[in-house]
Amino acid sequence: MTSVAVLDYGTSNLRSVAKALEYVAGDSHRIFISDRPEQILAADRIVFPGQGAIGQCMASLKKKGLDEVIRTAIRNKPFLGICLGLQSLMEESDEDGGTPCLGILPGRVIRFLDNIRDSRGDTCKIPHMGWNQVEQQKDHPLWQGIEDGARFYFVHSYYVQPVAGSAIAASTDYVTRFTSAAARDNLFATQFHPEKSQRAGLTLLKNFLAWDGMSP
């Protein structure tokens, strides 16, 4: 049995992520929530979920020493980031007056523009909340069994803008075309919430549990 650590920096959606992982894990994986560096580093896989403001997220990560835990773990084991778990991997976010992030992926986090109208003339509401299509930009084991253009659930006002195009694993249209998933080596991270995305989301989580951390 392998172990999967759900990283706890104080976010509110840990239980829903852990329960979704437990649902697809069966008896093959032990899922646990922890903010203890030694437990997280000993796990076989790491999941970093998050929601809320990036400033509070980064402050909590540093206070608990989890920023260095993430940098270490991300080098040698499968790692899944969700929502803020993706945004925090960038170099800097425009949120909270400008917030330095972990700097694992080159690029920044920017806010959707307000008062933008879609093709029907309707104003795009911010935050972007609800179901939207995710268009796969590169082959990856975590897309196995998931149709290109499948719909996933989003809740966010900011989005990542990677510098390196090769890190973009999927994109989505809302206000602008933005990166909705990024992948590099043994790292995969999504702007959408797989734990809230029904069949497609559960398939992605199941694929993560089977993934050896090698990109195609």
How, if at all, do strands 45-50 and 2-7 pair? parallel
From the candidates 128, 140, 156, 193, give the one annotated as an active-site residue: 193
What is the Cα–Cα distance from 179 to 135, expressed in whole angstroms?
10
From the candidates 83, 95, 101, 128, give the one annotated as an active-site residue: 83
From the candidates 57, 95, 101, 195, give the one annotated as an active-site residue: 195
52 Cβ neighbours under 8 A, 6+ residues apart: 11, 12, 84
Asked about 193 being catalytic, the answer comes back as yes
What is the Cα–Cα distance from 150 to 128, expressed in whole angstroms?
17
Asked about 83 being catalytic, the answer comes back as yes
Radius of gyration, CA atoms only, the chain? 16
Task: Specify burial of residue 69 (Cβ count, 10 A radius: 0-12, 13-18, 19+).
Answer: buried
Asked about 128 being catalytic, the answer comes back as no
Catalogue the active-site residues. Answer: 83, 193, 195
